[in-house]
């Protein structure tokens, strides 16, 4: 009763203020402002059907490419991926160079990547490592470390982790071509997989990726199963291996962020995601960053997840390239 009474008094006290604010504007000015906002053709509520459908359908999910069975009759495919950003996201991509953040980037290739590679090698888990080209140029020994086992894949993640959505098409294409050439020169193999910096596409990105002949793309979130990308209503013959922020370490492991979670709690989220993927017989794709998850108190989350996955069993561990080639074959995309 007291709460309702207080609410009534508050409404009564605010009413004169609201009326005074409204009355301070001439009626003609208020109506003019309202009409401008209402009639603005660029406002989303005034878009034509074609404008909305063109926006939504530019890049869309097509057919589900989940095979009837994974190799060895496994129930689920498990793809571990590592975005090896290092110094590129610690100031280089923005030009805001500062020694402290750059030191965090060097930790990524000096300490964290060797720790991660040792873990996946010890567990015999083939993995995919996405590099901005400059990350590999700064420390080319990373390619030697990854290639040593002969089980892993190196893929492309931009030139300097540029914000590709802010670039014109010609610049975006030039930087991606540079990145592919540089990664091939250092790693010894031309990358067949693309992951956009910051997991986003410009209006030109998909066309550029297709023109450059990539086998697969792994930046988008239309589904949690592999699927064929559709561009402007037409199948592209390009495999999408989807990501999701739930299955990414960076947003929730930033100790300076307001979303920080204990790594062991994040591990349980990943375990629950894996268990559902196992039940559905589909795909479990995890994205980690060595400079994030390669710290001692955080790698325990990956260790615990791997232990759980192996205990569950009936799993196919694969690189992104292996998974993309397998689903293409099963879907008869190359016939």
pLDDT in tens, 23-74: 445 555 555 555 556 789 889 999 999 999 999 999 999 999 999 999 999 9
pLDDT of res. 254: 86
**Helices 299-312 and 263-280 sit at what angle, rounded to 10 degrees?**
30
Closest by CA to 133, choosing from 192, 176, 90, 104, is 176
**Average pLDDT over every residue of 131-139:** 98
Residue 256: pLDDT band with limits 50, 70, 90: confident
pLDDT of res. 33: 56
Q: Given phi > 0 = left and psi -120 to 50 = alpha, else beta, which region is 81?
A: beta
Domains of the chain by start residue, with CATH: 2-46 (no CATH), 53-330 (3.20.20.370)
pLDDT of res. 172: 98
pLDDT of res. 30: 54
Residue scoring higher pLDDT (27 or 139): 139
pLDDT of res. 99: 95
- Cβ–Cβ < 8 Å for 191, 183: yes
Please check the confidence at residue 162 and state whether its pLDDT lies above 80: yes
Please check the confidence at residue 274 and state whether its pLDDT lies above 50: yes
Report pLDDT digits (tens) over 182-240. Answer: 999 999 999 999 999 989 999 999 999 999 999 999 999 999 999 999 999 999 999 99
Cβ neighbours of residue 329 under 8 Å, at least 6 residues apart? none
Instruction: Provide the β-strand partners of residue 248.
Output: 287
Computed over every residue of the chain, the mean pLDDT equals 91
Helix (H/G/I), strand (E/B), else coil: 127? coil
- Cβ–Cβ < 8 Å for 92, 111: no
Q: Using alpha carbons, list the distances in angstroms from residue 214 to 123, 153, 205, 222, 318.
A: 29, 14, 12, 19, 18
Report pLDDT digits (tens) over 313-328. Answer: 999 999 999 999 999 9
Give the pTM.
0.88
């Amino acid at each position: 009763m007291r709460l309702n009474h207080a609410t009534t008094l508050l409404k009564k006290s605010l009413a004169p203020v609201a009326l005074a604010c409204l009355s301070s504007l001439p009626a003609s000015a208020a109506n003019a402002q309202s009409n401008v906002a209402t009639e603005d053709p660029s406002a989303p509520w005034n878009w034509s059907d074609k404008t909305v459908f063109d926006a939504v359908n530019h890049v869309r999910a097509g057919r589900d490419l989940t095979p009837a069975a994974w190799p060895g009759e496994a129930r689920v495919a498990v793809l571990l991926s590592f975005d090896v950003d290092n110094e590129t996201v610690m100031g280089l991509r923005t030009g805001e160079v500062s020694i402290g953040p750059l030191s965090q980037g060097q930790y990524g290739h000096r300490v964290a990547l060797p720790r991660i590679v040792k873990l996946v090698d010890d567990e015999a888990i083939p993995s995919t490592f996405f590099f901005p080209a400059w990350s590999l140029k700064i420390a080319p020994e990373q390619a030697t470390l990854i290639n040593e086992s002969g089980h892993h894949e190196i893929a492309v993640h931009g030139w300097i982790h540029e914000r590709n959505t802010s670039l014109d098409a010609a610049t975006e294409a030039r930087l991606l071509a540079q990145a592919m050439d540089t990664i091939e020169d250092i790693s010894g193999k031309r990358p067949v997989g693309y992951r956009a910096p910051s997991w986003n596409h410009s209006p030109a990105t998909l066309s550029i990726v297709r023109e450059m002949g990539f086998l697969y793309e792994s930046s988008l979130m239309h589904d949690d199963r592999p699927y064929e990308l559709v561009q402007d209503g037409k199948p592209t013959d390009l495999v999408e291996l989807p990501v999701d922020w739930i299955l990414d370490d960076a947003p929730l492991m930033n100790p300076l962020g307001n979303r920080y979670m204990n790594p062991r709690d994040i591990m349980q989220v990943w375990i629950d995601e894996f268990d559902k993927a196992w039940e559905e017989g589909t795909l479990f794709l995890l994205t980690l960053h060595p400079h994030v998850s390669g710290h001692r108190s955080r790698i325990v989350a990956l260790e615990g997840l791997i232990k759980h996955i192996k205990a569950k069993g009936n799993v196919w561990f694969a690189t992104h390239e292996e998974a993309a080639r397998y689903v293409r074959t099963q879907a008869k995309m190359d016939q």
